[in-house]
Structure 1
Amino acid sequence: MMKSLDVKLLRFYLWTGLAFLFLSAFSSLHIYPNRFLALAFNNLWGVIYVTVLNFILFEYSVPFVLRKRKFVINNILLGIFLLWVHMILYSYCYYVWRLLGIQLGIYTPLKSFSSLGQALENQMAYSVGSVFFFGIVRHVYNYTKLKQATQQLRIQKQEAELNYLRSQTNPHFLFNTLNNIYSLARDKSDLAPESILRLSKILRFMLYETGGDYISIEQEIKIIDDYISLETLRYDETLRINFNYDIEDMKQAVPPLLLIPLVENAFKHGVSETRDQPFVDVHLSLRQRQLSFVVKNSAEAVSAEGGVKENIGLANLRRQLELLYKEFTLFVQHEKAVFTAELKINLSSHV
């Protein structure tokens, strides 16, 4: 079955042929300095022929020889035969093409040959030069296309993984919040209706505001503030909460729900497990595209050997950061009865 013609590939050969035309014309100019116009037409006539031949060679003959067959000897025999055919095309047939150009008045014979063998040798040298030129450029072209395709595949894979991680964030957040509301409902708390109302506001935001790649930092602050308000309903006045921020421009763009996992972690794995003097301190700073987000919360004291074990929320966040930014740090520390999570991002380093 014949290979279908690719318009981009045809355009590539036309541009490569044009480049070879200029190269061959200017390389002969020092021999015939006063015959530039004749050289231009001669080389144009020759380039038309070798461009078509090189297109057939690299796009049909070579792939046909390299096609997988039952016996390798068949490939070898085909290769020898097609090599002989192309040598005829690049020498004898090219000489006939030159004669045709002379007859049509397109080709000007600037050089005379003492024999047919000398003429064929000259034509063959030109043809072999074109094969090397087209072959090298074709290799670079293939390499560039392969690199671009690999890069595109990598980007698509990262986007798919990022979308998967984001799709995990919402159900994980919703599950934890519903557990909190369930606790209020089970205790027949009067705060249960209000908590459901606050949750509906958060869900509305998630459904209609977080569909794109970015939201404003102002919207991210609002969702954090709403979430803190929702969580506060579960605790009495002993819980101390401090949320402050220093933002240079409230319209700066950040990925949606990027910061909420650290706040959620502070309540679920910190405050909810603290018996005495629970607290959550949240500080957000964004200046000159440098974001700093520090969350400190009370936690049960652990031994020094225990270390910090990242839960699914933190691990998910770290992977999202790896896919989104080149320059970031996510530092977590559990020291005595205080858990600290510190996130720093250079927003200009977006992948």
Structure 2
Amino acid sequence: MLYAWVGLAIVVMCTIQEVYHHATFGMALLECIWLTIYLTLVNYVLFEYTVPRLRVRKFYIGILLFVLYIFLFTALFHHWAQLGHLLHLNDDYIDPPGKHHDLGEEASFSIPSAFIFGIVSHLYKHAQLRQTAQQLRIEKQTAELNYLKSQTNPHFLFNTLNNIYSLARDKSDQAPETILRLSKILRYMLYEAGGSFVAVEQELKVIGDYISLEKLRYDESLRINFNYDVEDMKQAVPPLLLMPMVENAFKHGASETRIHPFVDIHLSIAQRKLAFYVRNSTEEHNGNGQVRENIGLSNLRRQLELLYTDYEVSVEQKQSEFSATLKINLASHV
């Protein structure tokens, strides 16, 4: 199809030139169509079959092919034009008897056409390669993102099932309610979180359900503060993107704190700027300030790399407190 469009452009240019040199429009159009058909076929074979199969080591074959195409663009092209004259498609190829025909006239038309076809073909294939590379990059990122989600969801389920196991082992009356809340979260993960985006109100609801699930494990000593200030509750966000930070606060914070455990969670979204703060208690930390991230936070960082170009994740470990901050420009989605 590409060569047909290039051939059509050559027909237009050729017709304009012939009409300018006092040829009638009808005859100029027929002549140009006839000549361009030949050139289109020759250039198609040249750039689609011959050039891609050339090998540098077989230099002599390259020389032979060069001679062959010079013949195709001159002598054989001249015979094609003469055939057109016999079919009454042009009037320009009548030579006086005994006069040797100068093939320069054919070359002045055919050789430039080879440059036109060659340049357009190269640009088109380059654009196709870039598009293919872009598509492969997107497919690779999508596959990696799905893999990260497949890691995050079982990680979440593993933590929750451990909670239910602890309640069931102690024969707690809270076990049935825990299973009911887990079923709600599972329904969300199966039917809502499969797409690329969900409304932020859905994300807040599943976070609320998860917090309620965690509350069942603790007595009144656990202090939880969960609040949000969202400009548009229909704002689209990736599903379960915020959950790793919430999980981390309970699993590696509150559950390991013996005295006055607490979890503070705050979400704000304004003008497509998301800020998510999670702070939780920890046991006294005597390290050098370095933070060892678990699989949840590591996966979160990688998902953000694949989803957004403008974001920031920071964590801070104090003596008896851990905090994580996530900031995203939601308009920077790739």
**Inter-partner Cα distance in structure 1 for 2:9 and 2:310:** 42
Deviates more, 1:16-25 or 1:161-170: 16-25
Deviations 1:75-133 (A, max 9, x none): 33333333222222111111112222223332242998995452x11212321111111
Q: Once structures 1 and 2 are overlaid, which stretch shifts more, 55-64 or 276-285?
A: 55-64
Partner of 1:32: 21
- Superimposed CA distance per residue, residues 151-179 of structure 1 (whole angstroms, 9 cap, x where no aligned partner): 11111111110111111111101111111
Q: Is the contact between residue 85 and residue 91 of structure 2 (CA under 8 Å) also seen in structure 1?
A: yes
Residue number in structure 2 paired with 1:47: 36
Deviation at 1:40, TM superposition (A): 4.1
Structure 2 residue aligned with 1:90, among 73, 77, 80? 73
Decide which of 107, 113, 119 is 1:130's aligned counterpart: 113
Give the counterpart letter for 2:293 in structure 1. E
Shift, 1:230, TM fit: 0.4
Q: Secondary structure at the match of 1:59?
A: helix
Q: Is the 8 A contact 2:289 2:318 kept in 1?
A: no
Q: For 1:129 and 1:296, locate their aligned partners in 2 and report how far apart those are by CA, in whole Å.
A: 71
Distance 2:43 2:19 in 1: 27
Cα distance in 2 for partners of 1:169, 1:310 equals: 14
How far does residue 31 in structure 1 lie from its aligned partner after superposition? 6.5
- What TM-score do the two structures reach when normalised by structure 1? 0.87
State the partner residue of 2:279.
Answer: 296
TM superposition shift of 1:205: 1.9
CA drift at 1:263: 0.3
Of 260, 266, 269, 1:283 maps to: 266
What SS does the corresponding residue of 2:218 show, helix, strand or coil? coil
Aligned length: 333
1:217-260 per-residue CA deviation (whole Å, 9 max, x = no partner) reads: 11111100000000011111111111111122222221111111
Q: 1:301 to 1:39 in 2, by over 3 A?
A: farther
Partner of 1:22: 12
Letter in 2 for 1:189: S
Structure 1 residues 229 and 183 mapped into 2: Cα distance closer, same or farther (>3 Å)? Answer: same
Are 2:237 and 1:254 aligned? Answer: yes
Moved more, 130-139 or 33-42: 33-42
Q: Specify whether residues 111 and 335 from structure 1 end up closer, same or farther in structure 2 by C-alpha distance, changes over 3 A only.
A: farther
Q: 1:63 aligns with which of 29, 47, 52?
A: 52
What is the correspondence of 1:171-190 to structure 2 with a 5 Å cutoff? 171-190=154-173
Moved more, 295-304 or 197-206: 295-304
C-alpha distance in 1, partners of 2:280/2:202? 23
Residues 54 and 339 (structure 1), Cα distance of their counterparts in 2 relative to 1, 3 Å cut: same
Q: Quote the Cα distance in structure 2 between the aligned partners of 1:20 and 1:337.
A: 77
| 2:88 pairs with 1:105 | yes
**1:326 lines up with 2:309 in the alignment:** yes
Shift of the 34–56 alpha-carbon distance from structure 1 to 2, 3 Å rule, reads closer
Alignment of 1:334-345 (within 5 A): 334-345=317-328
Q: How big is each residue's C-alpha offset from its partner over 1:182-211, in whole Å with a ceiling of 9 and x where there is no partner? A: 222233322222222221221122122222
Q: Which residue does the alignment assign to 1:4?
A: none
Query: Is 1:212 matched with 2:202?
Result: no
Partner AA of 2:6 in structure 1: T
SS in 1 for 2:328: strand
Cα shift at 1:290:
1.7
Alpha-carbon deviations, 1:268-319, whole Å to 9, x = none?
1111122222111111112222211111111223246231111110000111
Unaligned runs of 5+ in 1: 1-10
Structure 1 residue aligned with 2:61, among 39, 53, 78? 78
Query: How many Å apart are 1:30 and its aligned residue?
Result: 9.8
Structure 2 residue identity aligned to 1:170: N
The range that moved more, 275-284 or 16-25, is 16-25
- Distance in 2 of aligned mates of 1:125 and 1:300: 86
Query: In 2, distance between residues paired with 1:336 and 1:32?
Result: 91
